[in-house]
């Protein structure tokens, strides 16, 4: 049976840039899968907003994040990349984080070099740890990945650096290059500020790279064709679904206040997408026993 990690590796081997809408809970992930996307990412920003109604400033605990990831993987069959933040402590905590995300069914886990508590990559005030600590995090993540493989498990490591903000693009590229040398599977240089910077990232780094497109953020919102031409394998959209859902809810609430009837998804489609129809179809298998008794 193909594992989520193996499926993700196959996707990354394709000569294309995969559009990756990011989810925040099981329902949003289910909708992404229903619309035919090949993979998704559990956005820490959106998950924090959805689960605890708070900003992505390191407030969600390791246990809460892993629980959220487990709920999502239970609802979908496409690969999920989990947001492991800074690893929630020292190198040994990083290893536990990688193991926990693998056990939760994630295809990959992201580990970053921000100073804890971390911040959203497109908000002010973020800082990164020193190079040695950053490298130790990725080294620990890779060690745990190899230990999992030896025991029959599997997961990929997505290594992220936020060094562009404080230390410039050259330092970010240097760090990401070292992450690759240490064995990271996917590289993520956060918040390049122009198409030229994005080209420099892809030109100077090996293997699959991920672009993070935040509408209104620091990184240009290029077309998928442009991102593929530049050299990206994944284009993540961490806030698109959350922003759309919040806008729809606010609009609906305002219309209800004036006794208007909002434009909603049809109740039949809503039930079907949530899974009522599939449940009823499956349950019919067991209705024969009741009919026989009657």
Mean pLDDT over 82-95 rounds to 96
Q: pLDDT band at 130, cuts 50/70/90?
A: very high
- pLDDT of 261 reads 86
Spatial separation of the C-alpha atoms in residues 196 and 198, rounded to whole Å: 5
Mean pLDDT over 55-84 rounds to 96
C-beta separation of 195 from 226 below 8 A: yes
Q: pLDDT band at 124, cuts 50/70/90?
A: low
C-beta separation of 51 from 64 below 8 A: yes
Helix (H, G, I), strand (E, B) or coil at 265: coil
Mean pLDDT over 172-187 rounds to 98
Q: pLDDT band at 120, cuts 50/70/90?
A: low
What domains sit in the chain, N to C, each tagged with a CATH number?
A: 4-241 (3.20.20.60), 248-293 (no CATH)
C-beta separation of 98 from 109 below 8 A: yes
Spatial separation of the C-alpha atoms in residues 91 and 183, rounded to whole Å: 15
Percent of the chain that is helix, strand, coil (3-state, to 5)? 50, 15, 35
Spatial separation of the C-alpha atoms in residues 126 and 215, rounded to whole Å: 19
- pLDDT of 204 reads 98
Q: In Å, what is the CA distance from 214 to each residue of 21, 40, 238?
A: 11, 15, 7
pTM, rounded to two decimals: 0.94
Sheet (strand 234-237) strand order: 186-189, 156-161, 108-112, 80-83, 40-42, 18-23, 234-237, 210-212
C-beta separation of 151 from 181 below 8 A: no
């Amino acid at each position: 049976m193909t594992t989520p990690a193996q499926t993700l590796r196959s996707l990354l081997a394709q000569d294309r840039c995969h559009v990756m809408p990011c989810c925040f809970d099981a329902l949003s992930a289910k909708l992404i899968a229903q619309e035919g996307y090949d993979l998704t990412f559990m956005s820490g920003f959106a998950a924090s907003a959805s689960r605890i109604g708070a900003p992505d400033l390191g407030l969600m605990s390791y246990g809460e994040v892993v629980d959220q990831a487990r709920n999502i993987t239970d609802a979908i069959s496409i690969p999920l990349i989990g947001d492991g933040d800074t690893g929630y402590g020292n190198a040994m905590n990083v290893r536990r984080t990688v193991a926990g995300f693998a056990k939760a069914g994630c295809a990959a886990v992201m580990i970053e070099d921000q100073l804890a508590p971390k911040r959203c990559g497109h908000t002010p005030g973020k800082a990164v740890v020193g190079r040695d600590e950053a490298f130790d995090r990725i080294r620990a993540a890779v060690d745990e990945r190899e230990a999992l493989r030896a025991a029959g498990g599997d997961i990929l490591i997505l290594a992220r650096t936020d060094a562009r903000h404080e230390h410039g693009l050259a330092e970010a590229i240097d760090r990401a290059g070292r992450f690759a040398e240490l064995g990271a599977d996917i590289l993520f240089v956060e918040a390049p500020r122009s198409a030229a910077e994005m080209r420099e990232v892809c030109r100077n780094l090996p293997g699959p790279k991920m672009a993070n497109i935040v509408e209104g953020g620091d990184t240009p919102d290029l077309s998928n064709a442009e991102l593929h031409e530049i050299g990206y394998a994944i284009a993540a959209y961490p806030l698109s679904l959350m922003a759309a859902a919040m806008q729809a809810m606010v609009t609906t609430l305002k219309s209800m206040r004036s006794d208007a009837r909002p434009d909603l998804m049809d109740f039949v489609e809503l039930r079907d997408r949530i899974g009522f129809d599939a449940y009823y179809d499956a349950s019919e298998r067991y209705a024969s026993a009741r009919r026989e008794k009657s």
